[in-house]
Chain A
Amino acid sequence: MTKFRILATTALLTQTAFAPAWAAETHPVTGEPLAADQTFEYRLLDQFPSIDPQLIEETVGGHLARQLFEGLLTQNADGTLRPGVAEEWSSEDNQTWTFKLREDARWSNGDPVTAQDFVFAWQRAADPATASEYAWYVELSQITNASAVTSGEADPSELGVRAIDDRTLEVSLARPLPYFPQMTVHYTFMPTHPPTVEAHGAAWTNPANIVSNGAYVLEDMAVNEFVRLVQNPEYWGAEDVIITEITGYVINDANQALNRFQAGEFDMMDDLPAGSYPRLEEEMPDVAHSVPRLCSYYYTVNQTETGHEALQDPRVRTALSYMINRDVITDQVLKAGQAPAYSFTHWATADFELPEIDYALWSQEERMEKAKALMEEAGYGPDNPIELDLIYNTSENHKQIATVVSQMWRPLGVTTKLSNYEWQSYLEIRGNQNFDIARSAWCGDYNEASTFLDLLTTRNANNDGKYSNEKVDQLMLDSVTMSDPQPTYAEVEKILAEDMAVLPIYHYTQNFVLDPTIRNWPTENVENNWYVRDIYRVATD
């Protein structure tokens, strides 16, 4: 341990020597005076299970990966694409994509980042031997043979990705995919350094072993306590990076985290305590933020035999949906800027044009009237009541929403039994269709409407309610080859609203507190992807 500490300290000194002397300087573009102390500290919700890009499967590790590694493409503050390791990318037919890598991209040990490194990483992600829980993401990207490789039928070397030379990567897809470049931003597609992975096995991500190619390198970490990153002098864009050091503190308890934030112990936290946002916004308007976040909260309706038979009738599903007063949920339960949802796709999804969905425009009284009529038509009502099993995973917010919704359904003669389960049991119960209605949420894996709409196609593994409409399947299949699929997405949304495939409830916001001296935070990035290399701290006088 002592030896390790000495090593770490030496590394820190070396880093500091390399770091540009920003102290007492001004920002090169905006001219703002910069603080002498350019460190950024934030709260980690939980200990990250892994920071190996091909093994990460949750957000805490994902945020770290964006600082430690750089994929082919990254994002600007507004979420638009920006060259990463790839300088240029092109495709004639949206099916074969060519990425030209920059010459000066280097690993933290000085090795050049080559196309072969990407091939290695992508094959590794798909290889069943790696057992990546995100192998499905490779399949989703439509790379040739991805499914065959993840299912073990084909050798990883048959994956449709190859290095033409050190600086040219060619990706062939099974189907044209106009948004493929967007998908390369994801951590699963970040490169890994083959000699390091091969030499150290699972321990390659230890601070002593890790080699990465992002703006920062891992310096030190203690499980369940903290993680520290320092600038990577080998990073091709190191000159423009202002923050010199990043520290993340693992703090499980949201209230405790907020106390420590208010005591000035760190600069940023999200996942605020339930119900705290309105107070924070009032007390600290320049610190508390609420921005759109690409996730939709909805109720899955079990449309299989195991669910209540009434739920197979679209009229019943529609009536249930109409009765939900979304404004009450967003304005009186959540109170943090969330938007009432009448579509499955999040309203802020790039290029998505929200179709005119009738019931979104009606007043709640009109909806309730129609709901009662529909129920009667379907043969249910106070005389022929329905009893539904509504399940949710343990959380204060989910409980409140479920309680409110069950009250809203009462006038229809619907009684609701609420059951909560902890997460792992919940996944199993919901995945096996042992429910009538289940609380669900889906977050976009990339910023395009298909990341939502694909979920409601018949063969999608996450379609837990087993909604199935051939027309939706066909439209989603057709959409991938279209140059402008947006009208098709709108059409699908209209069908989903007619069938009431799921009951949309609200569209998420990202609520967080941020120290006001931290500038250039990407509040417009709806995927909540932030890159510390772009932010900086201004001086306070």
Chain B
Amino acid sequence: MSFYILKRLLVAIPVLLFLIVFTFVLMYAAPGSPFASERGIPPAVLANLQAQYGLDQPFHIQIWRYLVALVTEFDFGPSFIYRDQDVNSLIAQGFPVTLTYGFWSFVVAVLVGGALGILAAVRHNTWLDYLAVGVSIGAQVLPNFVLAPILVLTFTLWLGWLPGGGWQGGQWQFVVLPVIALSTSYMASIARIARASMLEVLTSNYIRTARAKGLPARRVILRHALKPALLPVISYLGPAFVGMITGSVVIDIYFSTGGIGQFFVASALNRDYGVMMGITILLGALTILFNLLVDVLYAWIDPKIRY
């Protein structure tokens, strides 16, 4: 097992390297520059700006320097737009925020979604099942950029219960709306996957055997059916978790939480090469890591899987 993990980690290195080079190339191929401005910049100033950020060097030198700084000092370099900040400090400020509401969204999505799905399967074809399926389909078709404004209109403008945005160091009342907005559609997916997989497991032979030998229904479900039913859910959780802790463009822009999600769009539009690279690498590394975690978890739950 540890050999397998090591192997996977080693494979991650060329994958990340490819990601870095590929992003770098794409970024430079895009028209425009971080320093394009409506007001003309004097050529000497522009030359200095470019020199400051190493843009005066040939492409291969730029990418080499970037890699060296990244590997030796873990330095993502400067931001090309936020001139008072560097990428490390931007990520250091934004990532804890994203991680916080991403984590809570994950917890909510897994607990509520999982419970909803299992409940629906166990009470198959009853009103409870229809209700659970209805709720999860409704939540699925409601994207967060629609849900977020509805939440704000309801809880901020009409009821006045919760602030419409901000973070304030992560006080609970600022976390609630982002978590609801982010978790809802994941919750719906988890509910549907869990329901389908539970239904399948419940019709399998060993469950029939368990029932036949007179085990109480509770025990059959919790002890025998739950674990195998969760396998498809788990394989979905890896990418979902990465999606939640990073893919929060809408949440960050809408709720002004200060997370890193909005840099995905903003850095591309601003041609902020430094931030763009930093965010891409972070997201890439997290994706690799969580896919690995899911695979390990898989082996642990399902005795049929061996690495």
Contacts and interface: CB of A to CB of B under 8 A. Distances in A.
Given A49-B83, A263-B164, A133 B48 contact: no
18 contacts: A52-B83, A133-B39, A136-B40, A150-B42, A150-B45, A151-B44, A152-B47, A205-B84, A222-B167, A222-B258, A224-B256, A224-B259, A224-B262, A256-B149, A260-B156, A263-B156, A422-B269, A462-B40
Contacts of A250: 256, 258
Instruction: Tell me what chain B mostly uses at the interface: helix, strand, loop, or mixed.
Output: loop
A249 B45 contact: no
Nearest to A58: B37
A136 B41 contact: yes
B153 interface: yes
B153 A259 contact: yes
A174 interface: no
Residue of A139, A150, A424, A462 with highest tally of chain B CB at under 10 A: A424
A225 B82 contact: no
Contacts of B166: 225-226, 249
A7 interface: no
B299 interface: no
Contacts of A226: 166, 256, 258
A366 interface: no
Nearest to A5: B169
Residue of B30, B42, B49, B90 with highest tally of chain A CB at under 10 A: B42
Contacts, number: 149
B36 A223 contact: no
Interface in B128-151: 148-149
Given A152-B47, A256-B149, 16 more contacts: A128-B44, A134-B39, A147-B42, A150-B44, A151-B43, A151-B44, A152-B48, A206-B84, A222-B93, A223-B85, A225-B167, A251-B165, A259-B156, A260-B165, A265-B163, A424-B269
Given A131-B49, A253-B253, A427-B37, A223 B32 contact: no
Contacts of B42: 128, 135-136, 139, 147, 150-151
B57 interface: no
Contact of B258 (A137, A205, A224, A462): A224
A433 B149 CA distance: 41
B94 interface: yes
B3 to A, nearest CB: 40
Nearest to B49: A131
Given A224-B262, A256-B164, A263-B156, A202 B45 contact: no
B27 to A, nearest CB: 12
Given A223-B82, A225-B256, A425 B31 contact: yes
Interface string B244-261: 000000001110111100
Contacts of B195: none
Interface string A114-156: 0000000000000011111111110100000001001110000
B82 A50 contact: yes
A252 interface: yes
Contact of B152 (A225, A256, A428): A256
B33 interface: yes
